[in-house]
Amino acid sequence: MQNFLPFYATSNYDEIQLLETINSSMSLFKTESCIETLTYYDTFDWRLYHESLALVEGAGLYTLSRLNDGQRQASAQAGDKPAFVWDFPPGMLQNQLAPILQMRALLALAQVEKQAAAYRVLNEDQKTVVYLISEIMRLPQTDTESPLITRFRLKPVRGYDDQAQALALLLQEQGLVATGDDRAYTKIMQAARRAPGDYSSKIALQLEPAMRADEATKTVLRFLLLVMQQNEAGIKKDIDTEFLHDFRVAVRRTRSALSQVKRVFPAAVTERFKADFRAVGRFSNDLRDLDVYLLSETGYRALLPEILADDIGPLFTHLKRKRSQVLKQVRRDLESEQYLRIIQAWQAFLNEPSRDDPSAPNAGQPIINLAQARLYKIYRRIVKAGHQILENVADEKLHALRIECKKLRYLMEFFASLFPEDEIGQLVKQLKKLQDNLGDFNDLCVQEEYLLRAAAELPAAKAEPQEALLAIGGLISRLDQERQVVKADFAKTFTNFASPENQAHFKRLFKPQKKVAAR
Amino acid sequence: MKTVAIYSNKGGVGKTAAAVNLAYLAAQNGAKTLICDLDPQSSTTFYFRVKPKLAGKAQGLTKAGKPIDRSIKGTDYPNLDLLPADLSHRSLDITFNAMKRSRHRLNKVLDPLAGEYDHIFLDCPPTITLLAENIFNVADLVLVPLIPTTLSARAHEQLLAFMRKQKYDPERVYGFFSMVDRRKKLHRDLALGMHKQFPHIFQTPIPYLSQIEQMGLQREPVPAFAPKSAAAKAYMALWAEVSKMVG
Identify the CATH number of the domain in which residue A485 sits: 1.40.20.10
Euclidean distance between CA atoms A436 and A428, whole angstroms: 12
The answer to whether position B185 is within a domain reads yes
Phi, psi (rounded to 5 degrees) for B213:
-70, -30
* Domain at A110, CATH number: 2.40.320.10
Rounded to an integer, the average pLDDT of A377-396 is 92
Is the pLDDT confidence value at A464 over 50? yes
Q: What does DSSP assign to residue A201?
A: S
Task: Sort strands A61-66 and A72-77 into parallel, antiparallel or unpaired.
Answer: antiparallel
Phi, psi (rounded to 5 degrees) for A4:
-90, 115
CB contact under 8 A, A160 and B73: yes
Closest-CA residue in chain B for A156? B74
For residue A128, the chain B residues in CB contact (below 8 A) are 76
Residue among A409, A456, A460 at smallest CA distance from A434: A409
Is the pLDDT confidence value at B59 over 80? no
Euclidean distance between CA atoms A401 and A390, whole angstroms: 12
The answer to whether position A200 is within a domain reads no
Nearest CB to B72; choose among A120, A126, A159: A159
- Burial track A114-148 (b if 16+ CB lie within 10 A, e otherwise): bebbbbbbbbeeebbbbbbbbbbbbeeeeeeeebb
For residue B73, the chain A residues in CB contact (below 8 A) are 157-160
DSSP chain B: -EEEEE--SSSSSSHHHHHHHHHHHHHHTT--EEEEE--TT-HHHHHTT-----TTHHHHHHS-SHHHHHH-EE-SSTTEEEE---GGGGGHHHHHHTSTTGGGHHHHHHGGGTTT-SEEEEE--S--SHHHHHHHHH-SEEEEEE-SSHHHHHHHHHHHHHHHHTT--GGGEEEEE-SB-TT-HHHHHHHHHHHHH-S-B-S---B--HHHHHHHHHTS-HHHH-TTSHHHHHHHHHHHHHHHHH-
The answer to whether position A519 is within a domain reads no
Which range has highest mean pLDDT (A248-252, A510-514, B51-55, B85-89)?
A: A248-252
Do A167 and A219 lie in a common domain? no
Residue among A189, A183, A10, A222 at smallest CA distance from A109: A189
Mutate to test the interface with B, among A4, A127, A129 (most CBs of B within 10 A): A127
Are A346 and A338 spatial neighbours (Cβ–Cβ below 8 Å)? no
What pLDDT, on a 0 to 100 scale, did the predictor assign at position A15?
79
The answer to whether position A202 is within a domain reads no
Is the pLDDT confidence value at B99 over 70? no
Q: How far apart are the first and last CA of chain A?
A: 63
The answer to whether position B82 is within a domain reads yes
Residues 6 or more apart whose CB falls under 8 angstroms from that of B49 comprise A125, A126, A127, B76, B219
Each residue's pLDDT tens digit, A34-79: 999 999 999 999 999 999 999 999 999 999 999 988 888 999 999 8
Residue among A83, A32, A91, A31 at smallest CA distance from A57: A83
A-B CB pairs within 8 A amount to 25
For residue A31, the chain B residues in CB contact (below 8 A) are none
CB contact under 8 A, A158 and B74: yes
Do A328 and A219 lie in a common domain? yes
Element spanning A102, H or E: none
For residue B74, the chain A residues in CB contact (below 8 A) are 157-160
Domain that holds residue A95: 5-191
List Cα–Cα distances, B177 to A155, A447, B18, B69, B204, in angstroms.
40, 68, 11, 34, 7
Pick from A186-200, A256-270, A444-458: least confident: A444-458
Residue A431 CA to its chain's centroid (Å): 21
Rounded to an integer, the average pLDDT of B43-60 is 75
Rounded to 10 degrees, what is the CA torsion of A159, A162, A168, A172?
Answer: 170
Nearest CB to A127; choose among B50, B71, B81: B50
* Domain at B26, CATH number: 3.40.50.300
CB contact under 8 A, A158 and B219: no
Are B68 and B80 spatial neighbours (Cβ–Cβ below 8 Å)? no
Q: How far is B72 from chain A (nearest CA, A)?
A: 6
Q: How far is A128 from chain B (nearest CA, A)?
A: 6
Each residue's pLDDT tens digit, A313-324: 888 999 999 999
The answer to whether position A447 is within a domain reads yes
CB contact under 8 A, B76 and A125: no
Each residue's pLDDT tens digit, A111-126: 999 999 999 999 999 9
- The CA R_g of chain A, rounded to the nearest whole Å, is 29
Q: What does DSSP assign to residue A91?
A: S
CB contact under 8 A, B76 and A127: yes
Residue A229 CA to its chain's centroid (Å): 16
Share the mean pLDDT of chain B: 86
- The three-class DSSP label of residue A487 is helix
Nearest CB to B72; choose among A126, A127, A158: A158
List Cα–Cα distances, A16 to A13, A20, A22, A23, A121, in angstroms.
9, 6, 10, 10, 16
The answer to whether position B8 is within a domain reads yes
Q: What does DSSP assign to residue A3?
A: P
For residue B81, the chain A residues in CB contact (below 8 A) are 158
Phi, psi (rounded to 5 degrees) for A158:
-55, 130
Closest-CA residue in chain B for A128? B76
- Tell me which of A123, A156, A191 is where a domain ends: A191
Counted residue by residue, chain B has a size of: 247
Count the Cβ atoms, other than its own, within 10 Å of residue B153. Answer: 18
Is the pLDDT confidence value at A513 over 80? no
- The three-class DSSP label of residue A198 is coil
Do A399 and A478 lie in a common domain? yes
For residue A125, the chain B residues in CB contact (below 8 A) are 49-51, 219
Complex ipTM value: 0.82
Element spanning A513, H or E: none
CB contact under 8 A, B73 and A126: no
The answer to whether position B247 is within a domain reads no
Do A164 and A250 lie in a common domain? no
What pLDDT, on a 0 to 100 scale, did the predictor assign at position A519?
46
Is the pLDDT confidence value at A478 over 80? yes
The answer to whether position B71 is within a domain reads yes
Residues of A at the B interface, defined by Cβ within 8 angstroms: 120, 125-128, 157-160
Do A187 and A220 lie in a common domain? no
What band does B129 get if pLDDT is binned at 50, 70 and 90?
confident
- Please tell me which residue, B206 or B57, carries the higher pLDDT value: B206
The answer to whether position A498 is within a domain reads yes
Residues 6 or more apart whose CB falls under 8 angstroms from that of A206 comprise A417
Nearest CB to B81; choose among A120, A128, A158: A158
Is the pLDDT confidence value at A460 over 70? no
Pick from A140-154, A251-265, A450-464, B155-169: least confident: A450-464
- The CA R_g of chain B, rounded to the nearest whole Å, is 17
Euclidean distance between CA atoms B175 and B195, whole angstroms: 10
CB contact under 8 A, B76 and A128: yes
What band does B32 get if pLDDT is binned at 50, 70 and 90?
very high
Are A6 and A153 spatial neighbours (Cβ–Cβ below 8 Å)? yes
What pLDDT, on a 0 to 100 scale, did the predictor assign at position B188?
85
Q: How far apart are the first and last CA of chain B?
A: 9
Mutate to test the interface with B, among A125, A154, A155, A162 (most CBs of B within 10 A): A125
Q: How far is B50 from chain A (nearest CA, A)?
A: 7
Do A248 and A360 lie in a common domain? yes
Do A322 and A418 lie in a common domain? yes
Mutate to test the interface with B, among A29, A126, A158 (most CBs of B within 10 A): A158
For residue B50, the chain A residues in CB contact (below 8 A) are 125, 127, 159
Number of domains in chain A: 2
Rounded to an integer, the average pLDDT of B54-63 is 52
Are B23 and B80 spatial neighbours (Cβ–Cβ below 8 Å)? yes
Number of domains in chain B: 1
CB contact under 8 A, B49 and A125: yes
Residues of B at the A interface, defined by Cβ within 8 angstroms: 48-51, 71-74, 76, 81, 219
DSSP A294-362: HHTHHHHHHHS-HHHHGGGHHHHHHHHHHHHHHHHHHHHHHTSHHHHHHHHHHHHHHHSPPPSS-SSTT
Q: How far is B71 from chain A (nearest CA, A)?
A: 7
Euclidean distance between CA atoms B87 and A510, whole angstroms: 76
Do A186 and A221 lie in a common domain? no
For residue B219, the chain A residues in CB contact (below 8 A) are 125-126
Is the pLDDT confidence value at A181 over 70? no
Beta bridge partners of B193: none
- The three-class DSSP label of residue A118 is strand
For residue A158, the chain B residues in CB contact (below 8 A) are 72-74, 81
Rounded to an integer, the average pLDDT of A255-279 is 96
What band does B201 get if pLDDT is binned at 50, 70 and 90?
very high
Euclidean distance between CA atoms A152 and A20, whole angstroms: 14
Are A231 and A275 spatial neighbours (Cβ–Cβ below 8 Å)? no
**% of chain A surpassing 90 pLDDT:** 72
Domain that holds residue B136: 2-242
Note the pTM of the prediction, 2 decimals.
Answer: 0.79
Euclidean distance between CA atoms A240 and A472, whole angstroms: 26
Rounded to an integer, the average pLDDT of A331-357 is 94
CB contact under 8 A, B76 and A158: no
Q: How far is A61 from chain B (nearest CA, A)?
A: 17
Closest-CA residue in chain B for A158? B74
What pLDDT, on a 0 to 100 scale, did the predictor assign at position B121?
96
For residue A159, the chain B residues in CB contact (below 8 A) are 50, 71-74
User: What is the 3 state secondary structure string of A209-259?
Assistant: CCCEHHHHHHHHHHHHHHHHHHHHHHHHHCCCCHHHHHHHHHHHHHHHHHH
Each residue's pLDDT tens digit, A125-173: 999 999 999 999 998 876 666 788 888 989 999 999 999 999 999 998 8
Do A150 and A279 lie in a common domain? no
